[in-house]
Amino acid sequence: MSADTADPGQPERFTLHHDAGSALGRGWRAFRRLMGRRWAKILAVLIALPILAYFILWLLFARGLPSAETLLTYEPALPTTVRDIDGEPVHQFARERRVELDFAEYPPQLINAFISAEDRNFFSHGGLDYAGLAGAVVDYVSKVGSGERARGGSTITQQVAKNLLLGDEYSITRKIREAFLARRIENVLSKEQILELYLNQIFLGRNAYGVQSASRAYYDKDVDQLALHEMAYLAILPKAPSNYHPERHTERALARRNYVLAQMERNGFISAQERAAADAMPLGTVRGPRESIRNVGGYFVEEVRRTLVQQYGEDADDGPSSVYAGGLWVRTSLDLDMQDAAQTALRDGLLRYDRGRGWRDPGLTIPIDGDWQRQLSAADYGVGYDEWRAAVVLSKESGSATIGFTDGTTGQLPAGNAAMPKRGTGQSAFQALRPGMVIAVAEQGGAWGLRSVPEISGGFVAQEVATGRVLAMQGGWDVRGGEWFNRATQAQRQPGSTFKPFVYSAALDNGMTPASIIVDGPFCVWQGAALGQKCFRNFSGGNAGPQTMRWGLEQSRNLMTVRAANQVGMDKVVRLAARAGLTQADGTPYPAYLSVSLGAGDTTVMKMTNAFAMLANHGRELTPTLIDYVQDRNGKVILRADTRCAAMENCNAPDWDGRPMPRPPLRTKQVIDPMTAYQMVHILTGVVERGTATTLRDLNRPLFGKTGTSTGPTNVWFVGGSADIVAGVYMGFDQPRPMGGWAQGGTLAAPIFKQFAQKAFADMPVVPFRAPQGIRMVRIDRRSGRKVFGAWPNDEPRAAVIWEAFKPESEPRRTIRRDEIAREARPAPRPAAAQAPRQEQPDDSDFLQSEGGIY
């Protein structure tokens, strides 16, 4: 518009245009023209919808998913393996049986079998098999509302995501989350790492987690020993192990196995001839593996488990070193030969006491109209001996009963093999049997005979003197059958006379000697107006007058013990006992009552055995231990009982540095004077030689010990041993009641120790008790305690002259000559007319062999 023609009343208008030559401008105009068309808008919407859907799915499902990076450090639950004193595996604590292998340890053909069965495109897809996923969706839609479960369509990567990170929830939500996570896993881990996780984690039935564990469970082989048809069978199990049970669903398992073999041929992994040969093979599974780990140890191993649970927890949630998931390696002090000797000796002793009291009904019944075999296995009735078996009465006729066993077999129990009376009734045991009763039986005369599990029980512990390591432990008849109460460590019992050595040890610490004279006579104390006067008595009644301390302990005289405790002071007695580990259950010292000197304070057989081991260890403190050391799954030691190396410089040096070899420090402190401890051990050898435990004399080795019988008697004890091994045993009812007036430690408990020692000590060298520095060995008259000149001790148990151990400057000042010993031991002279002609005086050896010096 020109200026001279413009209307001054109209506003001016300007239009801006993009540069027609700009590429951006041209593209923008082209896009606008394109979007103006209908088909372009439809295409744009179709492209945007999947992107938007993916974003929405990510917001709803992918946020908060576990990080795939956690699989790089994933550690599957592994069982804890317990080893014995020689390092041999003896037990496993496991809820999931699993053995972890590296990928390279799996045979290639085994990997091919699993890929053919589960995910033939595993090495080519990126975590998702879209064709299989689409088929799974169609299957799911077709089964909605039917109650049937649709096929999964999951790849191996998705199964790893489900098993390790998501769980086994059956839902669309879980499948979507599984797909997202599978993609992430493929970006973090290699195919080999994913397969390794899968093969180590997958459940394959028979409580087997991982292929190596399943190989053992089904074929009793390692994976590198499997044949082709065996590999194919294991490969069919991940989907549903129970559907392909080798005995219950044999035909179905064979068909599925052969399908996997056909897929392996199709994928080029095997030839047609190999497939045909494998097709012709039976499943060939075994009923169960021969256990490479015997799962033995009973109460000992159960105590190890309790200790580990207390220290590290039970499950993975409790920490990385938990008992049932941490894969610990535990080295213990369990000596299997001693453990076998201990449990057999205790069971035999309990059975000897129970014999003649009739058959005891265990009070267990199960239904027999269904799967009685499984019910019997679940009853878990502990019968003790290996040759005894748990059985259930299936039916009974007039002359015999049909019984069934946990393996499904049956047998006959004739009435004559169950003729003993039922305890507490007038009928025979056979008459009392009813269908469904769980009983103990053993083979007898070509059939089966009824057996009775004793009601009385007890505990046994064997301990190494030098270290305190527990070598054997038996806490009752049988740890099976729910009998988890360990009487060796948990039963608080009165020890009776086994406490007396610590009373006399306090006396030795306070001026007395083994030759000190103590009156074995009436002793009463005034306990106050409320309790009145308390008078003590000997077990057998009566008294013997003044006697030596040695005699009083050898013969277990109560009156001499309480008199010595009263003279020394009970406060000193309970303090010494506390230093030896003998305290109340809460760890506080016993009250300073005279009755405690006779064993009225409760303790456990573990504590008492450890206290006697301290005496044999020259009074040095010992802590009973069952575990030597614990390693985590990577081999790092995380617990060690012997910590001396930590206190030594260069203890773990890789090479000699030219300096003297480091000497380990002493483990523990001195809690009892070493000379006092030796004096007490020396006295206690007399208990075996001529006291209350003479039944042990024919073991023909230096032994010390003490019997004990508590009031009632409700418990009988023996604790003692050699210079290397100390053991303790008690017997008693769980609900304390009298065992019978004839029951004594020397007649019931000491024979149990003897049976144990006959086996446990058989190949051990004979080692004497070594005296510590300062001890003086003096010849004394065993009866009077006076020093002897002119006569010598010999090997006779009741020799008149013996060696006695004294501290410096404490030996008897009084002396006795050889002819005085002869006069004291010789009968009163006859009248002169009747006397025989005088003979030559015999020498010392002749005299000592002819005179017993009997008390």
* H or E element in which residue 404 lies: strand 400-404
DSSP run (H or E) holding 270: none
Look at the block and give the residue holding tokens 């103006």.
36
For residues 650 and 659, the answer to whether their CB atoms sit within 8 Å is yes
The Cα–Cα gap between 668 and 681 comes to 20
Cβ neighbours around 388 below 10 Å, total: 18
Beta bridge partners of 206: none
Length of the chain: 855
Cis peptide before 702 (omega within 30 of 0): no
Calpha distance 782→785 (Å, rounded):
6
Distance CA 407, CA 390 (A): 11
How far is residue 638 CA from its own chain's centroid?
19
Q: Is 118 annotated in the active site?
A: yes
Run of H or E residues at 551: helix 549-554
- DSSP designation for 291: P
DSSP class of residue 221? S
**Both tokens assigned to 725:** 């091994």
Beta strand 438-444 with 447-451 is antiparallel
Phi, psi of 705, rounded to the nearest 5 degrees: 170, 175
Rounded to whole angstroms, the Cα distance separating 422 from 762 reads 40
Residue 493's alpha-carbon distances to 246, 633, 824, 840, in angstroms, are: 52, 40, 43, 58
The whole-angstrom separation of Cα 769 and Cα 751 is 22
From 322, 333, 457, 497, the catalytic residue: 497
Retrieve residue 475's tokens.
């806490």
d(CA 348, CA 341): 10
Distance CA 112, CA 118 (A): 10
Catalytic residue among 100, 116, 118, 464: 118
Q: Which of 272, 201, 268, 211 has the alpha carbon at shortest distance from 236?
A: 211
Question: At residue 430, what is the residue type?
Answer: F
CA distance 432 to 799: 57
Integer Cα distance of 234 and 211 in angstroms:
8
**Burial class of residue 320, CB neighbours in 10 A (0-12, 13-18, 19+):** middle
- Is residue 851 within 8 A of residue 793, CB to CB? The reply is no
Instruction: Please say whether the beta carbons of 157 and 166 come within 8 A.
Output: no
Q: What does DSSP assign to residue 326?
A: B
Find residue 629's DSSP bridge partners.
Answer: 331, 640
**Token duo for residue 590:** 């016993």
Backbone region of residue 285 per phi and psi (left: phi > 0; alpha: psi in -120 to 50; beta: other values)? beta
> Residue 497 catalytic?
yes
Amino acid identity for residue 170 in this structure: Y
Chain centroid offset of residue 235 CA:
35
The DSSP letter of residue 772 is P
Q: Which residue has the tokens 């946020």?
A: 63
How far apart CA 538 and CA 521 sit, in angstroms, is 9
Structure tokens at 501: 């050595």
Tokens representing 453?
């599990």
Residue 422: C-alpha distances to residues 244, 360, 388, 418 (Å)? 48, 6, 19, 9
Residue closest to 524 by CA, chosen among 543, 505, 508: 543
Known catalytic residues are: 118, 497
